[in-house]
Each structure stands twice: as structure tokens, then as C-alpha cells.
């Protein structure tokens, strides 16, 4: 897989526009095609490789696709764009259901006594989730869905009567994503500490900005170093918070399935304390941004 990933990265870098002189419409496929190939490759790998890393790569590749389609939203049919982004989210969620169990298992491992009692049942539940994820992805026919999405969007853009300069377009879209992030940071900084949704919105907005900067950095005007520094801080602190919150919810939602597997009460109590601690840390970071 590592060798394949390097091939994907090289293919992506080779195919991206080398400058800002091209139009956004003609440049789209050079951004989208490598991402589609990458997602298909990871989806195929999930059939054989059930490791947490493989599932994580698939989910990330689908999130990146969703962000790219958001970036080109002003140039695409609104209804079709919304449908395609919903499709990417659906596929990412299918992969994510198993990944969520992986994260819970990793966290519970930090609580040695609880892990010793609960891990066998958690692993069994993870196996069930993996079977469901594989079935969903197989039935969805990821390869053809993603190729059709690429073909449809490319055709629409290639037949557009007007052409938008690439640099001007990506500057506007990155600026829009950065404004959205700032709004969510401001909203979360004034929210109650128990309002996780506000914190989660900051994390999602931060991911979108980071993906767009990764896509378009070679042709963007101006420096985005300050934003990138902020994004790294958000990703690290808010990511660990999200892992705790998602794991706590997953455990609560499956108490019946895990009955008799160990001290679930102790596990929930530990997760609750971790959630509060990490919420304080996230709130502290917001005050500094």
C-alpha cells in the first residue's frame, strides 16, 4: 500500500496545473482525477486489508473529494453537486463505522483493567461492523459511482460557455472557506463548554480549509502560513476531542451488544472524564486563536 500511495501522490503532483494561467473549468479534472483514482484504490484495498489504516485512508480520500466538489460548487449544477457530495459522505460513513470501533478499541486500551475485560467483545463488534462496511461499499460499486461523478462534472465544466481564471477562482474559494472557519471559531468561543456541536463545526471547517490549501497551494496568491499553523493546532486538539466523543457515543449506543463483556460503566466514566478534559483544552485553544 505504501508504494501505491507514493504512485498516487506522484500522479497527482504531475497532473496538477503548473500555474494560474489555466481556467478553473479546464483545471478541474487535473485535481479530481487523481483523487478519484486514490479513493477507488483504497476501496479495493478494503476488500483484502481490514487494518485501521486502510479504512482511515479510504475515509480521508472521500472527504477530500467532498471538499473538492465543494470548491467547484459555483461552477457546477447545484442539485447535482449536492447529490454527489452526499454520495461521498455516505461512502465515507460506511468506511467510518468500522474505523469508529478501531478508535474505541485504541482508547480503551489505555485503561488496562477495562481493556482486558472488554477488548474481545469490542473486537467481535468491530468484525461485524467491518462486514457491514465491506458489503455496503461492494453493493455501492464505488469504482463506477466515482468515475461517473468525475465524468459528469468534467462534461459540465468542459461545455461551459464562460471560463474563470484558475487563480482568481481558487483565491475566492479558499477565502470563503477561511471566512467560514473564522465564523465557527467565533461561535464556538462563545458557546457553552458542553456544546460539542459548535466545537465539531470548527473541526469540519478546519478540515475543509486544509484540504483546499493542499489542492491549490501552488497557484494561490499570498501566504497562508499563519492559517496552516492554526489548522495544525485545531486538527490535533479537536481531533482527539472528536475521538473521545465519538467513542463515548458508540459505547452508549451498544451497551446491549456489549452486555457482560466487562465494566462498561467504568469505561464510560473514564471516557466522560476524558471528554471534559479535552473540551477544556479545546476551549483554551479557541481563546488563543
What are the tens digits of pLDDT across the range 186-211?
Answer: 999 988 877 899 999 999 999 999 99
H-assigned helices in the chain: 2-15, 24-48, 52-71, 78-108, 112-140, 142-158, 166-189, 196-216, 225-253, 264-288
pLDDT over 50 (residue 5): no
pLDDT at 268 over 70: yes
User: pTM (2 decimals)?
Assistant: 0.87
The pLDDT value given to residue 17: 58
Q: What is the structure's pLDDT at 215?
A: 94
Match 459505547 to its residue by C-alpha cell. Answer: 251
| Per-residue confidence (pLDDT) for residue 12, from 0 to 100 | 42
- Distance (Å, rounded) from C-alpha 156 to C-alpha 152? 6
User: What confidence score (pLDDT) does residue 90 get?
Assistant: 95
Residue 13, pLDDT above cutoff 60: no
- pLDDT one-digit tens code per residue, 253-264: 998 888 877 788
Top pLDDT among 227 and 44 is at 44
All three cell numbers of 130, joined, read: 467491518
- pLDDT tens digit string along 14-36? 445 545 568 999 999 999 999 99
Confidence band, pLDDT 50/70/90 cuts, at residue 88: very high
66-78 pLDDT, tens digit per residue, is: 999 999 999 999 9
Q: Does domain 1-17+25-164 correspond to CATH entry 1.20.120?
A: yes
* Every domain of the chain and the residues it spans: 1-17+25-164, 165-289
The span from the CA of 22 to the CA of 53, in Å, is 36
In whole angstroms, how far apart are CA 275 and each of 35, 83, 105?
Answer: 34, 34, 16
- pLDDT (0 to 100) of residue 50: 79
Amino acid at each position: 500500500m505504501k508504494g501505491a500511495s507514493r504512485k498516487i501522490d506522484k500522479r497527482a503532483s504531475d497532473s496538477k496545473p503548473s500555474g494560474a494561467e489555466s481556467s478553473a473549468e479546464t483545471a478541474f479534472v487535473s485535481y479530481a482525477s487523481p483523487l478519484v483514482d486514490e479513493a477507488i484504490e483504497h476501496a479495493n484495498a478494503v476488500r483484502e486489508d481490514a487494518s485501521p489504516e486502510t479504512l482511515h485512508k479510504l475515509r480521508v480520500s472521500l472527504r477530500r473529494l467532498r471538499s473538492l466538489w465543494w470548491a467547484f460548487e459555483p461552477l457546477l449544477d447545484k442539485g447535482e453537486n449536492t447529490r454527489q457530495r452526499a454520495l461521498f459522505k455516505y461512502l465515507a460513513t460506511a468506511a467510518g463505522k468500522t474505523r469508529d470501533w478501531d478508535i474505541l478499541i485504541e482508547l480503551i486500551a489505555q485503561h488496562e483493567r477495562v481493556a482486558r475485560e472488554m477488548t474481545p467483545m469490542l473486537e467481535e463488534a468491530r468484525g461485524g461492523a467491518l462486514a457491514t462496511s465491506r458489503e455496503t461499499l461492494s453493493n455501492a460499486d464505488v469504482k463506477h459511482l466515482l468515475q461517473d461523478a468525475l465524468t459528469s462534472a468534467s462534461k459540465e465544466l468542459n461545455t461551459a460557455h464562460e471560463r474563470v481564471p484558475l487563480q482568481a477562482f481558487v483565491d475566492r474559494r479558499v477565502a470563503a472557506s477561511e471566512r467560514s472557519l473564522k465564523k465557527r471559531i467565533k461561535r464556538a468561543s462563545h458557546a457553552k463548554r458542553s456544546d460539542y456541536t459548535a466545537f465539531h463545526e470548527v473541526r469540519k471547517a478546519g478540515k475543509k480549509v486544509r484540504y483546499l490549501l493542499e489542492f491549490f497551494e501552488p497557484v494561490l496568491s499570498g501566504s497562508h502560513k499563519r492559517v496552516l499553523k492554526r489548522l495544525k493546532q485545531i486538527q490535533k486538539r479537536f481531533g482527539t476531542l472528536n475521538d473521545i466523543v465519538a467513542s463515548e457515543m458508540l459505547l452508549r449506543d451498544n451497551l446491549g451488544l456489549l452486555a457482560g463483556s466487562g465494566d462498561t460503566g467504568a469505561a464510560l466514566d473514564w471516557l466522560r472524564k476524558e471528554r471534559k478534559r479535552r473540551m477544556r483544552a479545546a476551549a483554551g485553544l479557541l481563546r488563543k486563536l
